[in-house]
Chain A
Amino acid sequence: MPFSEAAQRELQEIIQRYPDKRSAMLPALAIAQREQGYLTPEAYRWVAEALDTSPTWVASVASFYTMLRKEPAGRYLIQVCTNLSCSLLGAKPLLDHLRQRLGIDVGETTPDGLFTLTTVECLGSCATAPVMQVNDRYYEQLTPERIDEILAGLRREAGTCGDDRTAEGHS
């Protein structure tokens, strides 16, 4: 899949913000990931060309950052924080609840491609623990009941092909 004109323009605009175009590396990779869902060799070539560097260098940088995905994920990437503050308030039982509700283990994707379940290190939302992130959104002060509501909401949204972030607004 080639990169869109809009993505190309967006990247060129972002490059202009920096005294050194190489600084646009992370934004460029974020655009590539948004376009393709995850980072491919094609993405590394695209970024390398825009930033006057090599695809190998871009891949090396990308490998450092956990939010830059090197393989596809489901439509909803569920990331459960398991760091201390969340674990002290029951991250483990919530993770088990998600495993059971989704029928998958951590690191797996549901057969319908809707959900990928992962754990994540501290999301910086410790005072509203336990917390998970679904795509760009935070869900805080979780309980098993709340998780059921969230999953139902996401399933409804997927059924109606709504925008990923309009189901409940920002929390």
Chain B
Amino acid sequence: MDKFLLRNVGVPDSHHIEVYLSRGGYESWRRVLTSMQPQAVVDLVKSSGLRGRGGAGFPTGMKWGFVPQGVYPRYLVCNADEGEPGTCKDRVLMENDPHLVLEGIAISSYAIEAHLAFIYVRGEFTLSAERLEAAIAEAHAHGFLGKNILGSGYDLDIVVHRGAGAYICGEETALLTSLEGERGNPRLKPPFPATEGLYRKPTVINNVETLANVPLIVQYGAEWYKSMGTEKSPGIKLFALSGQVKRPGVYELPLGTPLRTLIEEYGGGTLENRPVKAVIPGGSSAPMLTAAHLDTPLDYESIAAAGSMLGSGAVIVIAEGTCIVSVVRRLIEFYAHEDCGQCIPGREGIAWLARILERIEAGQGREEDLDLLLDICDGLSGRSLCPLGDAVVGPVRSSLKHFRDDYLAHIRTGQCVQPVAVTIA
């Protein structure tokens, strides 16, 4: 299919403004500034059906609409703290097409009447941060940012803010706490950021890919956007395909594309053509699916109906022969490492899960441990301060549902019977 989000990726010097302009860049921004009121932009995005691409899939226009009337200043924050294991799509946009991201931020800031926007880039993404900063300087020089942009009277500055290595800061309230210069502790909601966010002012937080869709919707229209994807999940999505496939990569596809198409046609199938054992369809927090789910369309509703979530669109493929206990342990150790330590379910529960998984993998588990794992999940799910608790239970519950035999083999034989384990320590 034609590429839209990735249309400039692979074009030489695509990160420079001359190339971006030569390919129609900033025309949407110009059109918005010269012919649209902020509310008209909100209405356009609402009618396009665009949903948040960071993981939650919340309707973007509706999120913008939650900003209370008459309260200023307001801030737009671009969440570029891409860290959900499996997810590596925003980096592609920031490195290769930073001006598309900036144009999306500019239009969205105008829509919510913000005059200062921040891009919170994960600390490790040095090249992304450098490309964005260079692009901001270019955009200023061309009059697309700064004071009285293109003579419209509208002012906007964009600040690149680099994180420093903390997965939890991708959670929107933790991101705001971090951006305010504190430890990246999540906050209780409500209040939601739209009413009380950065510096306790109305704040809209959108993912990089979400914002990158906005110039396209202005350019081609809401009807065009809805002509792709499904009725409830319209439009296009970047899918980061990783794991045991022949051609991992970031692919742009309409929502609703079958999982099998992504893995087989785009990914070239599994390594050594081994059968698919498990698929994590939406980043590490998404419950595992199995080979029986390969015909599931990749849209929010269909993946949810299959028992998982589309999340960030990061699809991790695990082939037959790989030990699921080792996979789940690796993921839970990640969450234990990244937990902020504020709430007891998060702090104690995740560490407890990790210890039990370690002993099961080491062949020292008991059959009762499987119920204990589920019991701890019940204590975590919905009971933690932030969504991390729910993220953790996804891999544990789903693996116990679909791959209980892998656990039992470890417990009963005292060792791993699979050829491949992903154990590090």
Contact = CB atoms under 8 A, between A and B. Distances in A.
B295 to A, nearest CB: 23
Nearest to A170: B127
B123 A67 contact: yes
Interface stretch (A2-10, A109-117, A118-126, A150-158): A118-126
Interface string B141-176: 000000000000000010101111111000000000
A69 to B, nearest CB: 10
B183 A61 contact: yes
Contact of B199 (A20, A89, A91, A133): A20
Given A20-B199, A127-B88, A64 B159 contact: no
A115 to B, nearest CB: 19
A26 B243 contact: no
B199 A82 contact: no
A83 B183 contact: no
Contacts of B85: 83-85, 121-122, 126
Contacts of A29: 164
A162 B179 CA distance: 34
B82 interface: yes
A51 B123 CA distance: 21
B180 to A, nearest CB: 6
A20 B423 CA distance: 44
Contacts of A136: 126
A68 interface: yes
A87 interface: yes
B164 A68 contact: yes
Given A26-B181, A51-B181, A67-B165, A84 B124 contact: no
Contacts of B178: 26
A66 B244 CA distance: 29
A10 B243 CA distance: 41
B182 A25 contact: yes
A20 B180 contact: yes
B211 interface: no
Contacts of A17: 157, 159
Interface in A95-139: 95, 119, 121-129, 133, 136-138
Contacts of B83: 122, 124
B316 interface: yes
Contacts of A88: 242-244, 316, 318, 322, 327, 422
A11 interface: no
Contacts of B423: 92
Interface in B54-89: 73, 82-88
A144 interface: no
A19 interface: yes
A20 B338 CA distance: 27
B161 A65 contact: no
B164 A67 contact: yes
B360 interface: no
Given A84-B331, A121-B334, A122-B86, 20 more contacts: A17-B159, A26-B123, A61-B182, A65-B123, A65-B166, A67-B164, A83-B330, A83-B334, A84-B85, A85-B316, A87-B330, A88-B422, A89-B244, A91-B422, A92-B422, A119-B424, A121-B338, A126-B243, A127-B241, A129-B248
| 9 residue pairs, one from A and one from B, having the closest CB atoms | A25-B181, A67-B165, A65-B164, A87-B422, A66-B165, A22-B181, A126-B242, A85-B242, A64-B183
Interface of B: 73, 82-88, 90-91, 116, 122-127, 157, 159, 161-167, 178-184, 199, 240-244, 248-250, 280, 284, 314, 316, 318, 322, 327, 330-331, 334, 337-338, 340, 422-424
12 contacts: A26-B162, A61-B183, A66-B164, A68-B165, A84-B334, A85-B316, A88-B322, A121-B85, A124-B90, A126-B88, A129-B248, A138-B127
Interface of A: 17-20, 22-27, 29-30, 51, 60-61, 63-68, 82-85, 87-89, 91-92, 95, 119, 121-129, 133, 136-138, 170
